[in-house]
Amino acid sequence: MGKCVNIIFVSSRFSKARTLCVGRCQTGILLVGGLMLFMAMSGLFGYLILFQFGGLQVPVVQKLLISSQQTETDKNREAMQQRMSAMAIKVGEMQAQVMRLEALGERVAKVAGIKKEEINFDRKPGRGGLYKPGETVSLGDFEGELSKLARVLDDKSDHLAVLEAMLSREQVRKAALPTASPVTIGFFSSNFGWRLDPFTGQRAMHEGVDFVAEPGTPIKAAAGGIVSYSDYHPGYGNMLEVDHGNGLISRYGHASKRLVKEGDVVLRGQKIGEVGSTGRSTGPHLHFEVLLNGTPQNPTRYLNLPG
């Protein structure tokens, strides 16, 4: 028989002492059960002290309750501070975004040709109306509105950037059109179209316009581009051609001087030569042509365009 623990019961009710033999396994079960019962009683006792008797003016209990409440308050305050810090960061980001939008708006207005006096980004727009009080806005509602406004600002910024790119591209396209007069003084002596040739007296096609001007008068590029020809031509004399892209080329003939060479980049209004009477010419003048994909165009259609 295995070892066991003998528990002896002595009582006046019994004629003799009685012995109870408890095995090791049973002893362990009793000890564990007793320990669990002790812990349960301790927890119940603590609960009764903190919650059932919390209203009593017991200093120790009051201190425990105040400490617990203070800890909870500190946690709430810390959480609130974190939310406020996050909102402050979001507001700072939105303020920076608004500044970028204002700068972008001014650039777009400038590209679009809108005067600064006509649209003032620094002035607050007028607002008003009848006051009707609504529901109180909670912190959560305010955070939601901030996030929504941030998304709207990002969206508007993207749209405004696209608009600026489109306007800039249009401005570049217009800058490449030969709309600037190649000479600032002088007058037309021959227009584009059919005329009597000054040398043969026969009807012939004149593929440009002639500007009568004094020798040495500056010849200016009608638009920005790359010099594609700078040489002497049997018919045009000293001739220059500027490639403006998209198949557009402007041609300048009978110059006395050529001041640019092939491959040079020229800007609108830049001096590229001087008026002369070289080549097949009856006197000092500038012969000016505009070609689109190699086909002569009436230059006055471009010179009369705005810009």
Q: What is the CATH number of the domain that holds 206?
A: 2.70.70.10
129 φψ region: left (φ > 0), alpha (ψ -120 to 50), beta (else): left
pLDDT at 281 over 50: yes
Q: For residue 250, what pLDDT is reported? A: 97
Identify the top-confidence range among 49-58, 143-152, 209-218: 209-218
Answer yes or no: do 47 and 65 share one domain: no
Convert the pLDDT of each residue in 172-186 to its tens digit. 666 778 999 999 876
Which residue reads 């409440």 in tokens? 69
- Is the domain of 40 the same as that of 99? no
- Residue 71's DSSP bridge partners are none
Rounded mean pLDDT, 139-166: 75
Q: Do 201 and 273 sit in the same domain of this protein?
A: yes
34 in the same domain as 74: no
Within a domain: 18: yes
Residue 138: per-residue pLDDT: 73
Q: Do 201 and 106 reside in the same domain of the chain?
A: no
Bridge partners (DSSP) of residue 257 are 274
Q: Is 182 a member of any domain?
A: no
Q: What is the mean pLDDT of the chain?
A: 79
Position 101 in a domain: yes
Average pLDDT (69-75) is: 77
pTM: 0.50
Specify whether 69 is located in the same domain as 18: no
Closest C-alpha among 229, 208, 213 to residue 272: 229
* Same domain, residue pair 149 and 191: no
Tokens of 144: 């939601």
**CB count in 10 Å sphere of residue 290:** 27
3-class DSSP assignment, residue 205: strand
Q: Identify the domain containing residue 211 by its residue range.
A: 187-303
Between residues 170 and 272, which one has the greater pLDDT?
Answer: 272
Give domain status of residue 131, yes or no: no
Q: Is residue 181 part of a domain?
A: no
As a whole number, mean pLDDT of residues 255-264 equals 96
Cβ contact 28:49 at 8 Å: no
Q: Which two tokens stand for residue 27?
A: 């002893």
Among residues 129, 153, 175, which one ends one of the domains?
Answer: 175
User: Model confidence at 1, in pLDDT bands (50, 70, 90)?
Assistant: very low
Residue 253 lies in a domain: yes
Same domain, 61 and 162: yes
At 40, is the pLDDT very low, low, confident or very high (cuts 50, 70, 90)?
confident
Task: Give how many domains the chain has, as a whole number.
Answer: 3
> Do 248 and 155 belong to one domain?
no
> Is the model more confident about 99 or about 294?
294
Q: Is the pLDDT of residue 188 over 70?
A: yes
Q: How much is the pLDDT for 64?
A: 63
